[in-house]
Amino acid sequence: MHPPDELEKQVQADIHSRLKKIEGQIRGLQGMIAADKECEQILTQARAAHSALKAVCNLILRVYLIKCYGKRGEEQSPEDEFNRLDRAIDMLSRFVDK
């Protein structure tokens, strides 16, 4: 098991790497549009970039929930616990595809 700080650095590096790849995909999309490529090719590339960004969002959300809501406060009232859970559900609901 990795120490929390080391694990957090690894996750940050993974997110950064994924975002750089997405950046390349977006630049590729821009080039495809400028070169007047076929719509199907552009849409395929756009779908790939969308999927990659969604995966990054899911990773960030996972880390966020574990970091911010995974630890139980020692002296929290049931109301405080409910409020923490309510905030976590609110955050998750923003990422549910409608």
Question: CATH: 3.30.160.110, 3.30.230.10, 1.20.58.1000, 3.20.20.70. Which one for 4-93?
Answer: 1.20.58.1000
Q: What is the pLDDT of residues 42-94, one digit of tens each?
A: 999 999 999 999 999 988 888 888 777 766 666 778 888 888 888 888 888 88
Contacts of 61 (CB under 8 A, 6+ apart): 91, 92, 95
In angstroms, the CA 68 to CA 65 distance is: 5
In angstroms, the CA 25 to CA 57 distance is: 16
Q: What is the pLDDT of residues 3-43, one digit of tens each?
A: 667 778 888 999 999 999 999 999 999 999 999 999 999 99
pTM of the predicted model as reported, rounded to 2 decimal places: 0.74
CA angle 45, 95, 89 (to 5 degrees): 165
